[in-house]
Amino acid sequence: MSGNIQLLSDTLAAARAEGRAALIAYLPAGFPTVDGGIEAIKAAFDGGADVVEVGLPHSDPVLDGPVIQTADDIALRGGVKIADVMRTVRETYEATGKPVLVMTYWNPIDRYGVERFTAELAEAGGAGCILPDLPVQESALWREHAEKHALATVFVVAPSSKDARLAEITSAGSGFVYAASLMGVTGTRESVGAQAQDLVERTRVAGAGADLPVCVGLGVSNATQAAEVAGFADGVIVGSAFVKRMLDAPDDKAGVEGVRVLAGELAKGVRRQA
């Protein structure tokens, strides 16, 4: 079975055709349980998310802030495995027919085996991977197998990325480019800031030939911020705010409902644009 990179591309193109940014939600697999995580992801789609990133919990994160680290710790203590991540992708894709990516650090894939990981992700209906710590110059093996299985390779760029680096990443990547709005780790912020808009513009110029959508993450937590980012980006990525809704909820059912409500608020935000 081939992966769903085309579904991802079509979904982002459809949002652009509607004159809006896509809403991309992030939730870790296995949080608060494997079944509970699957229900939360379905709720994000029900609420209005166009794409969902499924986090592969990792014990030594470099991009995740305290909120997502807390959720990852709960998942890891619950014994979550890569097989559970694949099951999460499969069941949410089969239930919704919408694009589901995996966001993971490189070490778990390296240990698991690139061919095995990409084959299983494609078989589960996955659309691709976001790989925040895989240097583009060391990505040839991954990209070979990802392309073989019709999976997107999404690289992360930051405000510190030089123009030459942006050109290299946009040339090698597929699906979209993940633009980190600021230097630092994930988490909600009072404002996303002008750095993000500048990064999006520079990435588009650098990748003019590739024409990859540029989606902004890190810091977006409410509809007003989503509208602001939607004014200059192709997609708005929200993670910590969803996880916080679940962490703050009195029980799992309320947490899932909180995810659905927040997705609805953010979906309205990307449609009104500040």
Residues marked as catalytic? 53, 64
Starting at the edge strand found earlier in the chain, the sheet holding 177-180 runs 152-154, 128-130, 100-103, 51-55, 22-28, 235-238, 214-217, 177-180, 156-157
**Short-list 274, 272, 192, CA closest to 240:** 192
Phi-psi region of 19 (alpha: psi -120 to 50; beta: other; left: phi over 0): left
**Short-list 241, 107, 230, 262, CA closest to 186:** 241
Q: Is there a contact between 214 and 22 (Cβ–Cβ < 8 Å)?
A: no
Burial class (CB in 10 A: 0-12, 13-18, 19+), 97: exposed
The identity of residue 163, as a single letter, is D
In whole angstroms, give the CA distance from residue 183 to residue 189.
12
